[in-house]
């Protein structure tokens, strides 16, 4: 929240009367500062700040309207994402790491943010034929035969909050679909979650399908879910094991060589 | 009722949607949603019996509902603490055999369940293998929570072999099933198919939602209870429409999502409170109730395991729940432990003493005895003490009652004492053996299943 400040002019007037500087010199100084934009926030910065604040307020409508306003002001959509959305999520993420905020705050901020990115910002970015800047692209899903998705949904939100581009295929996803989507979007990572011992083997099929298309070096795999273990991941030739959502984000970063 | 009428449940099976529609539910075929009016819910409640009988293969009857609480071990963990090394490792078929044998011996286990699912068999036959290992190693009635309908069919076939035929099984069921909707409010394809398989043979079945408070149900405890009741009332109705009069047990495994780790907790006091409430809801609906108890997030049998098990078991039992699925697991029901089975048996014994209460009678008030001993005397030699102490006291098996000097000789903590007891039971206890012929038939049934279901 921005605290109300005394007007710039009133401060300068007081200083001038102390220093006995003429108003003329004062105005020159004022313009100098404005041109360099160092003390006063421009309209645009204020708009981006509002996006960041809106994300931190967890309010759906506020995020959407803040983003709309920023786009109306012709601010570059990538800027809106980087300096508005991502900034807000970073602040929340840091507070969560410090133990000041909880999972419910993280997901509460990430979901409206994701909605705004998906509905308002990505289409604009595509129009400009630009690419959305992200830490990496990950294709996620719960494996075929399995419909337990809450864990995977939490990981998706957290990866998004951490700065990844997440393509969520949902539940009951056949191995081959993970791979085809990865190829289509040029993904860096594939993440598959399995909650039943009987559906776990599909994770092996994902690895095999990637190998069959010669994609195993380009696309890293990360697996998780209650019956999944580091030994299993090693056995099937997977690249990373995620014990829980937090670990998932850490491992995803490690696999792509991204520092903490 | 409001949620059932207004929000409705997702029913992922067209035939069952039709069934509900014909019965009077408001069905949206495109969305696969059923909105169920109150009168229809009451119909389902009235059809389901408030009590029923389960049998053991020795013919012993177990009445469920309107009786004392019955205990079933927690099931389907994939890890186990190795008895020798005390380290967690993947569970094996041998562990299913041994934990079943242990549960067969433990006096506070009434119905047996496989504590673990074997990780050393083909995944497609994991439940069937567990069933076989269990059924051959205990003569108590059987509880199974299979994860698909194909294995459910095989398990029912195995139970029929033990009963001596399908009709025998249907008349005197020795198997009780378990089915869980997908919270929130979703009756997915799999669970509907599994329900159908069980009720086809009129087998009693647990209808047990497992919402995670804060994630798949509201974070408020009351809201989680609403989701649980909505789900089990709708699935009970379906069960009764498919098989009128089918015995069901309603309740839930009500976990909470930990907001720091995103892990589910089952050892929390919130779970304990909701467990007690589940018992009361069962009384309200006049149906046998169940609560998941004895959960703990501890990964070894330590103090946390002790206190979390104690409160999550005490509350539902004091509230009069009919069944608990509880002993034997750590790590939010993911890691089994022989020692914990023994430790939980101990805790159950103590809690049952709590439920006994304090007897107030002429004998227990003992005024004559007090008079006989008089001021300054003692009661140890009294006949009253000799005769009454076995009724008045609970006898711990593994809890320490030694003083400091005695204890210092061996310095055994609870974990070690439980291990000693577990090993002793495993060394000496022989369950009632299954007839050779039945064992053979079960083994060949598994081979057939393996042939059909395992992709080479």
Pair (B28, B149) in one structural domain: no
3-state secondary structure of B46: helix
- Domain positions in chain A are 43-127, 137-255
What average pLDDT does this structure show over A157-166?
Answer: 91
Q: Give a yes or no: residue B267 inside a domain.
A: yes
Tell me how crowded residue B322 is: count the other CB atoms within 10 A of its CB. Answer: 26
Q: Quick one: closest CA in B to A195, which residue?
A: B147
Pair (B31, B69) in one structural domain: no
ipTM: 0.77
**pLDDT beyond 90 at A18:** no
State residue A29's pLDDT score.
Answer: 65
State residue A132's pLDDT score.
Answer: 72
State residue B101's pLDDT score.
Answer: 97
If you average pLDDT over every residue of chain A, what do you get? 87
State residue B182's pLDDT score.
Answer: 92
Pair (B290, B383) in one structural domain: no
Q: How far are the Cα atoms of B71, B103, B268, B305 from residue B347, in angstroms, in the given order?
A: 12, 15, 17, 11
State residue A260's pLDDT score.
Answer: 52
**pLDDT beyond 60 at A252:** yes
CA distance A51 to chain B (A): 25
State residue B217's pLDDT score.
Answer: 95
Pair (B125, B245) in one structural domain: yes
Pair (B379, B320) in one structural domain: no
Q: How far, in Å, CA of B456 to CA of B453, rounded?
A: 9
What residues of chain B, 181 to 200, have a C-beta less than 8 Å from chain A? Answer: 182, 188, 190
Pair (B270, B214) in one structural domain: yes
Strands B323-325 and B255-257, sheet pairing: unpaired
Interface touch A200/B123, C-beta < 8 Å: yes
- B90 chain-A contacts, CB cut-off 8 A: 229, 231
Pair (B238, B151) in one structural domain: yes
**Tokens for B436?**
């050779």
Among the partner-chain residues B90, B126, B257, the one whose CB lies closest to the CB of A198 is B126
Is 1.10.1240.10 the CATH classification of the domain at A43-127? yes
Q: Give a yes or no: residue B16 inside a domain.
A: yes
CA distance A145 to chain B (A): 9
Is 3.40.50.280 the CATH classification of the domain at A137-255? yes
Q: Does A97 touch chain B (CB under 8 A)?
A: no
Which of B345, B372, B392 is the last residue in one of the domains? B392
What average pLDDT does this structure show over A28-43?
Answer: 65
State residue B43's pLDDT score.
Answer: 93
Q: Does B257 touch chain A (CB under 8 A)?
A: yes
- A201 chain-B contacts, CB cut-off 8 A: 123
Pair (B175, B319) in one structural domain: yes
Interface touch B259/A102, C-beta < 8 Å: yes
Pair (B62, B164) in one structural domain: yes
**Tokens for A80?**
């809106």
Q: Give a yes or no: residue B449 inside a domain.
A: no
Q: Pick the residue of B262, B334, B449, B454 with the most A CBs within 10 A to test the interface with A by mutation.
A: B262
Helix (H) or strand (E) holding B328: none
Q: Quick one: closest CA in B to A243, which residue?
A: B263
Q: Are B201 and B169 contacting, i.e. CB atoms less than 8 angstroms apart?
A: yes
Among the partner-chain residues B259, B262, B334, the one whose CB lies closest to the CB of A226 is B334
What residues of chain A, 179 to 198, have a C-beta less than 8 Å from chain B? Answer: 196-198
Among the partner-chain residues B182, B188, B259, the one whose CB lies closest to the CB of A103 is B259
Q: Does A25 touch chain B (CB under 8 A)?
A: no
Q: What is the CATH number of the domain that holds B135?
A: 3.20.20.480
Which ranges of B3-53 would DSSP assign to H, the alpha helix?
14-23, 38-47
DSSP structure class, residue B124: G
Closest C-alpha to B256, from B223, B281, B230, B288: B223
**Tokens for A69?**
């306003």
What residues of chain A, 138 to 157, have a C-beta less than 8 Å from chain B? Answer: 147-148, 150-151, 154
Q: Give a yes or no: residue B425 inside a domain.
A: no
State residue B320's pLDDT score.
Answer: 95
Of chain A, the end-to-end C-alpha distance in Å amounts to 28
pTM of the model: 0.86
Count of the separate structural domains present in chain B: 3
- B124 chain-A contacts, CB cut-off 8 A: 198
Among the partner-chain residues A102, A197, A227, the one whose CB lies closest to the CB of B260 is A102
State residue A1's pLDDT score.
Answer: 47
The CA-CA-CA angle for residues B322, B325, B330, to 5°, reads 150
Among the partner-chain residues A104, A231, A246, the one whose CB lies closest to the CB of B259 is A104
- A227 chain-B contacts, CB cut-off 8 A: 78
What residues of chain B, 132 to 161, have a C-beta less than 8 Å from chain A? Answer: 147-148
Among the partner-chain residues B124, B219, B262, the one whose CB lies closest to the CB of A244 is B262
CA distance A107 to chain B (A): 10
Q: How far, in Å, CA of B73 to CA of B75, rounded?
A: 6
Pair (B221, B188) in one structural domain: yes
**pLDDT beyond 60 at A82:** yes
- Span A165-195, pLDDT tens digits: 999 999 999 999 999 999 999 999 999 999 8
Give the residue ranges of chain B where pLDDT is below 70: 455-456
Q: How far are the Cα atoms of B71, B88, B276, B395, B421 from residue B330, in angstroms, in the given order?
A: 17, 11, 21, 25, 18
Among the partner-chain residues B78, B147, B262, the one whose CB lies closest to the CB of A245 is B262
Phi, psi angle pair for B179, to nearest 5°: -140, 145
Q: Give a yes or no: residue B219 inside a domain.
A: yes
Q: Give a yes or no: residue B153 inside a domain.
A: yes
State residue A126's pLDDT score.
Answer: 81
Residue B372's domain comprises: 362-392
CA distance A200 to chain B (A): 8
Strands B33-35 and B9-11, sheet pairing: antiparallel
Interface touch A103/B257, C-beta < 8 Å: yes
State residue A31's pLDDT score.
Answer: 67
CA distance B210 to chain A (A): 12
Q: Does A98 touch chain B (CB under 8 A)?
A: no
């Amino acid at each position: 929240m921005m605290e109300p400040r005394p007007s710039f002019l009133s401060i300068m007037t007081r200083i001038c009367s102390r220093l006995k500087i003429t108003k003329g010199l004062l105005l020159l100084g004022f313009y100098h500062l404005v041109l360099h934009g160092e003390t006063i926030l421009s309209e645009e910065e204020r708009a981006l700040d509002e996006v960041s604040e809106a994300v931190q307020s967890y309010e759906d409508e506020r995020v959407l309207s803040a983003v709309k306003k920023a786009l109306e002001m012709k601010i570059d959509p990538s800027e809106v994402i980087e300096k508005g959305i991502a900034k807000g999520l970073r602040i929340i993420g840091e507070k969560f790491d410090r133990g000041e905020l909880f999972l419910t705050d993280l997901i509460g901020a990430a979901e409206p943010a994701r909605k705004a990115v998906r509905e308002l910002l990505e289409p604009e970015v595509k129009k400009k034929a630009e690419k959305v800047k992200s830490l990496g692209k990950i294709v996620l899903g719960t494996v075929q035969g399995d419909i337990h998705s809450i864990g995977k949904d939490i990981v998706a939100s957290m990866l998004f909050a951490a700065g990844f581009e997440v393509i969520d295929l949902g539940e009951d996803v056949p191995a081959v679909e993970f791979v085809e989507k990865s190829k289509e979007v040029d993904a860096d990572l594939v993440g598959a979650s399995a909650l039943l011992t009987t559906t776990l083997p599909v994770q092996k099929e994902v690895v095999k399908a990637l190998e069959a298309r010669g994609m195993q070096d380009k696309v890293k795999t990360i697996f998780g879910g209650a019956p999944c273990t580091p030994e299993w991941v090693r056995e099937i030739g997977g690249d990373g094991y995620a014990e829980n959502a937090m670990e998932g984000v850490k491992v995803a970063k490690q696999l792509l060589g991204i520092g903490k | 009722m409001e949620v059932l009428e207004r929000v409705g449940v997702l029913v992922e099976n067209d035939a069952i949607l039709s069934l509900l529609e014909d019965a009077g539910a408001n069905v949206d075929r495109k969305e696969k949603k059923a909105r169920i009016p109150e009168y229809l819910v009451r119909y389902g409640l009235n059809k389901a019996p408030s009590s029923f009988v389960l049998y053991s293969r020795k013919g012993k009857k177990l009445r469920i509902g309107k009786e004392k609480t019955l205990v079933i071990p927690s099931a389907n963990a994939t890890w186990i603490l190795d008895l020798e090394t005390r380290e967690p490792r993947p569970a094996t078929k041998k562990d299913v055999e041994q934990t079943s044998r242990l549960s067969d011996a433990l006096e506070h286990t009434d119905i047996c369940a496989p504590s673990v699912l074997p990780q050393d068999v083909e995944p497609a036959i994991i439940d069937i293998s567990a069933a076989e290992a269990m059924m051959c190693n205990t003569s108590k009635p059987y509880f199974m929570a299979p994860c698909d309908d194909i294995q459910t069919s095989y398990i029912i076939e195995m139970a029929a072999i033990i009963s001596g035929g399908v009709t025998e099984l249907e008349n005197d069921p020795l198997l009780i099933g378990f089915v869980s909707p997908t919270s929130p409010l979703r009756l997915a394809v799999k669970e509907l198919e599994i329900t159908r398989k069980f009720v086809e043979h009129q087998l009693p079945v647990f209808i047990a939602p497992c919402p995670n408070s804060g994630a798949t149900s509201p974070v408020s405890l009351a809201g989680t209870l609403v989701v649980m009741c909505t789900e089990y009332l709708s699935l009970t109705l379906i069960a009764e429409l498919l098989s009128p009069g089918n015995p069901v047990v309603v309740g839930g495994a009500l976990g909470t999502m930990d907001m720091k780790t995103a892990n589910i907790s089952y050892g929390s006091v919130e779970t304990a409170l909701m467990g007690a409430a589940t018992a009361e809801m069962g009384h309200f609906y006049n149906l046998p109730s169940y609560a998941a108890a004895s959960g703990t997030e501890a990964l070894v049998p330590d103090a946390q395991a002790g206190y979390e098990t104690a409160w999550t078991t005490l509350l539902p039992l004091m509230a009069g729940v009919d069944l608990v699925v509880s002993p034997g697991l750590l790590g939010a029901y993911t890691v089994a432990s022989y020692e914990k089975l023994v430790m939980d048996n101990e805790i159950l014994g103590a809690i049952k003493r709590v439920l006994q209460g304090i007897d107030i009678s002429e004998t227990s008030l003992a005024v004559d005895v007090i008079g006989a001993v008089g001021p300054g005397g003692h009661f140890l030699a009294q006949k009253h003490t000799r005769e009454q102490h076995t009724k008045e006291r609970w006898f711990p098996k593994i809890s320490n009652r030694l003083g400091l000097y005695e204890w210092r000789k061996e310095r055994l903590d609870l974990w070690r004492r439980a291990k000693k007891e577990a090993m002793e039971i495993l060394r000496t206890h022989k369950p009632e053996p299954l007839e050779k012929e039945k064992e053979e038939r079960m083994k060949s049934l598994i081979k057939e299943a393996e042939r059909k279901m395992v992709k080479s």
